[in-house]
Amino acid sequence: EVQLVESGGGLVQPGGSLKLSCAASGFIFSSYDMHWVRQPTGKGLEWVSAIGTAGDTYYLGSVKGRFTISRENAKKSWYLQMNSLRAGDTAVYYCARASLVNPFALDIWGQGTMVIVSS
Partner 1 sequence: QSVLTQPPSVSGAPGQRVAISCTGSSSNIGAGYDVHWYQQLPGTAPKLLIYGNINRPSGVPARFSGSKSGTSASLAITGLQAEDEADYYCQSYDSSLSYVFGTGTKVTVL
- Contact residues for partner 1, defined by CB under 8 A: 35, 37, 44-47, 50, 58, 60-61, 94, 96, 99, 101-102, 104-112
Q: What minimum distance in Å lies between the beta carbon of 65 and partner 1?
A: 15
Residue 27 or residue 58: which is nearer to partner 1 going by CB? 58
| Region of residue 16 (phi > 0: left; psi between -120 and 50: alpha; otherwise: beta) | beta
Percentages (nearest 5) of helix, strand, coil residues in the chain: 10, 50, 40
If residue 62 lies in a helix (H) or strand (E), which one and from where to where? none
Residue 3 or residue 84: which is nearer to partner 1 going by CB? 3
Residue 3 or residue 17: which is nearer to partner 1 going by CB? 3
**Alpha carbon distance 38, 54 (integer Å):** 24
Q: What minimum distance in Å lies between the beta carbon of 73 and partner 1?
A: 22
Q: What minimum distance in Å lies between the beta carbon of 112 and partner 1?
A: 6
**Strands of the 77-82 sheet, one edge to the other:** 3-7, 18-25, 77-82, 67-72
**Alpha carbon distance 98, 108 (integer Å):** 7
Residue 50 or residue 82: which is nearer to partner 1 going by CB? 50
Q: What minimum distance in Å lies between the beta carbon of 64 and partner 1?
A: 11
